[in-house]
Structure 1
Amino acid sequence: MAIKLLKRLGDLLVENDIVSEEQVQQALDSQRQTGRKLGDSLIQLGFITEKQLLTFLAQQLNIPFVDLNRAQVDIEAVQLLPEVHARRLRALVIAHKGNQVTVCMSDPADLFAQESVLRILLQYEVKFAVSSERQLVSGFDRYYRRTKEIASFAEQLHAEHQSTDSFELNLSDTADSDEVTVVKLINSLFEDAVQVGASDIHIEPDENVLRLRQRIDGVLHETILNEVNIASALVLRLKLMAQLDISEKRLPQDGRFHIKVKGQSIDIRMSTMPVEYGESVVMRLLNQTAGVRALEESGLPDDLLIRLRRQLKRPHGMILVTGPTGSGKTTTLYGALTELNSPSKKIITVEDPVEYRLPRVNQVQVNSKIDLDFSTVLRTSCVRIPISSS
C-alpha cells in the first residue's frame, strides 16, 4: 500500500518550525541549479541534518526509522528485490515473514519509487521504513552476494577435473597464476566475505555436496555447491597460502596468511580438521584496513554502553567479556582499549593471537612453546605498572 505526505515537504518543515521559509526558498533555488531533491538541498546547505529529516519523514508518514548499522537484516530477504532495482530505487528489503516484507527507502515519499517497489514485490504485503541513503548504499555493497559467481567458478573447476572424484593440483600451476580456476574461486570467496562483512568462512565437504558457510553478525549463512569433488583443490590451495603441510591430512593444522581484497588488508587465521569426507577449513578474517570499531559502533544497547563506560572510568577492577564465536567479544575489548588509550596511560595486553595493532599499546602475543603465557606476562606487567591489562 502506497504512502504519501499530505502536504509538500517544505511546507511541512516550516509548519513544524524545523526550517524557516527563507531557508526553504534558498534550498529551492539550489534545487533548480543542482537538480537535487529539496531534502538533499536543505542538508547540503546545513539547514537540517540527515537524521532530523529522516526522523521527521518517518513521523509524518507514520513509518519506522531504521538505523541499518544496528538493525538485524535478513540476508535472504534482501534477494527478493534484484540489486539493479534496489540501487536505482534506493530500496532494501530487510525482513520477510510470511507474506509480509519490510522495505527501507531513503525517500519513502517518492511515489514513483514506492510504486516501482510495490510492482516488483506484487505478491507481498509491503511495509515501508526510512533509512539513511549512505547506510543503504553501504547495505547494497554488503548484502548483495557473489553466490552466482562462486557457483560458476565451482562448475568450471568441476568440469576441468570431471574424470576424478578427487584430485590434486599441479603445484607449479598454483604458485602465481591468477588464471587458475581454483584461484579465481578463492578470490571470489574472499571478496564475497569482505563485501558482506563476514567474520569467518567455513568450508565443509559432505557426502554429496560442499557447504560454504559465512558467519555474519554471529549467524552462519550457508551456500551449497553440488561439486563436492572440488573440496580437495580448495583445501590444497589454502594450505599452500597458509604454508601448512599439504601431505598431512590426518591431523588438524593451524596457519595464517595475508591477502588484499579490493584495497583492503585482511589477515586470515586458518585451521583445518580431518572429517569423514575430507578436510574441513575454518578461516577467521581480520580486516586491518577497517581498523577497530569505536564502542558506539559495537552494537551494544545504549544502557549497556553507558554502564560499560562507567566501569572503564574506574581506577581498578576487572571486566569479563564472554559469549560464543562471532558475538563481538573482540570488537568490544578492542573498542574499550581504544577508549582508554591515551598518551598519559600505559596499557599492556596479553593476546592469543594479536588481532589488531593499536598505537601506544604494548601488545604481547602468547607463545606456549617458550612458556610465554598469561601468568608470566602478568607478573612482568605488574613491575611495569600498567594502567590497564587485558
Structure 2
Amino acid sequence: MPAQAPHEPAGDANARVVFFKELQAVTTRIHATANIDEIMLELSGDICRLFNCDRLTIYVIGEDKQSIVSKVKTGLNSFKDLRLPIADQSVAGYVAQTKKAVNIHDVYDDVELKRYSPHMTFLQEVDKRTGYRSKQMLVTPILDAPSGELLGVVQFINSKQDMPFGAIAEEGAQSLAQTLAVAFTQRQKAQPVTRTKYDDLVASAVISAGELDLAQRSARRKGIPLEEVLIKEFQVKPAAIGQALAKFFAVPYEPFKPDRIKPMDLLRNLRREYVEENNWLPVEESAEGIVVVAPDPERIKASRIAANIFPKGKIVYRVTTDGEFRKCVDQFFGALSDMGSVGDLLSDMDEGEAGDLGSGDDVSAAADNELVRLVNKIIVEAYQQGASDIHIEPRPGKDKVQIRFRKDGSLQNYIEVPASYRNALVTRLKIMCDLDISEKRRPQDGKIKFKKFGPLDIELRVATIPTAGGVEDVVMRILAAGEPLPLDAMGFSPYNHENLIKCISKPYGLFFVCGPTGSGKTTTLHSVLG
C-alpha cells in the first residue's frame, strides 16, 4: 500500500520494501519520458499517491540562474508558472539556496520556520485565494551528481494522514530527486528541433513552449486534434492559430466569413463527401484567381488536385484552421433535407443564354422540376436558419439574381441564381401566391400557403415591385401558420387587454398596430380578426 509506506516507522522493513519497489516503477517511467513536462501529465498523480501527499510541485532553475520556476504543479488550475527567487525568504527558495532538504511539520508555524532561517516565511495569499490549507511540506533539492550544481527543487505538500512525512518519505524524495536530475540533464542536451505548424504561437508569445508541449501530449493522450486542445484548454483564438499556420505554410490566412456568397459556379462539380475527404474548398473567384482554402494548402498544391479540376483558372491558395474549414463546408453544403443541396439543384439547371422571354416561356420555365425544388429549398433553408424575410433581387443584363436572408434585422447573402432563370424564378413565386404573372409594371401583394408546395406548415407574405431594367424584386415575410391565438392567450396586461377590446368593439374607425420586426404585429391582427 504505497499510500501508507512513507509515514511508517523507519524500522518497518516491509513498508520500506513495498515503497521502494513502487518508487522504482515510477523511476523507470521517468527515464522513459521525452522531457520533464511529460511527467506533469502522466506521472504527477502516481508520485502523489506513492508519497501519500496531496500536492506536488517540481521547480527547475530559471535561465537567469537567480530563480526557480515551476514546471509541475498539481492542484492549481492555472498554466501560469510560479517563479521564486533563490533566497531564504521562501521554503523552496531556501532549499535551492542551501541545497539541503527540509521536512516542515506546519508551514504556518513561524517558530518552526525560523529554526531554518530568520528570514523564512510562507506565502499564505495563495491559500487564502483558493481556500486551501498548506501544512506539512517535504522539500528536496535536485542536484547534478558529478558537479553538485542545482538543477531544481521537488516539493511535496500535505500528508494525507495529516502527520509529518517520515524517514522513508525523506529517503524516497532524495532518490526521486536523483532520478529527476538525470532527466533534467538529458533534457538540457542538444536535441534536433522539429518545426511544427504551431511554432509561431510560441514566437508570438500567444502560449509558452511548455504549454505547447503540454497541449501536444494532452491531444495524444485524449485522441483529439491539437487545435481543439489549444482552443478549449488553452483559450487560443482561431485567428491566432490561423496566423501561425500562415507563417508555416507561407500563404495568407483566410478566416471563416458567415456572410460569404456561395460560389455556385465553382461548386458545380463538387460534392460534400469529396470536399471532406480531400480537405480543400474553392470559396470565391477574385481578381487574383480562384481562391482555394485548405488546412494543409501545401499538400493540395503539390498534388495539383485543384489545378486539375479548374485547369483554365489560376489557383490562389489560402490556409484556414480545421474548425473554420468545417464551418465553411457546413455553410456551403450544410444540414440539408432530402430535397437535395442548393448546389446540386443549380448544377442540374441548364445555364442557357439570358434574355427576354415571353410569358409562355416564363410559365414553362417556372414549372421546371429543378426550379420548383430550388424555390422550395430556398424557403425551407430560410425557415431553418431563423430568417424573417427572403429577398429576391434580380439585376438587369447578364448579372445573376441575388438572394438574401434577413436574420435579426440584418441582410445576409445566401446564393446567386443564373440570370437565365431570373424571370422564371419570379413567375414561380407569383404562381405560388396566385398573383397575375402577366403584370410586371405594378406592385403586387399575395400570400403563399407553403404546405401545398413543401414539407413545412408555414405561410409567407409576398410583395413584388418593379425595379430598373424591367425586372421585379420580391420580398417574402415568413409567418407561422395555424389558427390564430385567442386574445386572452396573447399575454397582454389587464390594462392593455381591456383597452384593446374597447378599441376593436367599436363599429367603425381606424387603429394602428406599430412595432419593430418580429414584435408580433401580424400575430396580434390575426388574433383580432379571429
The TM tier, using the shorter chain, reads 0.3 to 0.5
TM-score normalised over the length of structure 1: 0.47
Q: Which has the larger radius of gyration?
A: 2
Q: Which has the higher contact order (CA 8 A, sep 6+)?
A: 1
